Amino acid sequence: MNTIGLNKEKSNELAKSLNDLLANYQVFYTNVRGFHWNVKGEKFFELHTKFEELYDDLIIKIDEIAERILTLGHHPEYRYSAYNEVSEIKEAAQTSDGIRDVESILESLQVLIKKQRVILDHSGDANDEGTNSLMSDYIREQEKLVWMYSAFLNK
């Protein structure tokens, strides 16, 4: 057992999955910052504000994921070179097209939700309520964002 009473092997696997999730969050965060800085056009004011809200939320989640990895007794990855190697979410090409940016955000949210569902499954199996609760909260919030951004795109 580790220091918080969880099976060490299962905690190791969860920490690996959380580090992978952290990499995806970091790349996504950087993409959204770029979208915020560079968006232009008819929906500038609306999207500029929405992108800022999103990256403010992402930075909080990044910190929570890193702290959860530490709580499990492991070290969060912090190098962007490592993030770029493992992240399924890739760096976005520079764009000022708000519609394309929202499409990219939706694609990234789908990746995160998929990964979080796998972690949710494994954390339940490990009796890791802390990770389980975190993933459950993130999934609920992001499913709503998918609905809202999809509605913006009229999908």
* pLDDT tens for each residue of 40-87: 999 999 999 999 999 999 999 999 999 999 999 999 999 999 999 999
Determine the pLDDT at residue 152: 97
Res. 94: pLDDT tops 90 = no
Q: Could you tell me the residue ranges of all domains in the chain?
A: 8-152
Handedness of CA 102, 88, 94, 76 (dihedral sign): positive
* Topology of domain 8-152, CATH: Ferritin (1.20.1260)
Q: What is the pLDDT of residue 155?
A: 85
DSSP 92: P
Dist. CA 100–CA 119, nearest whole Å:
29
Mean pLDDT of the chain: 97
Contact 87, 77 (CB under 8 A): no
Q: What is the pTM of this model?
A: 0.96
Alpha helices in 1-155 (DSSP H): 8-38, 44-71, 80-86, 98-125, 129-152
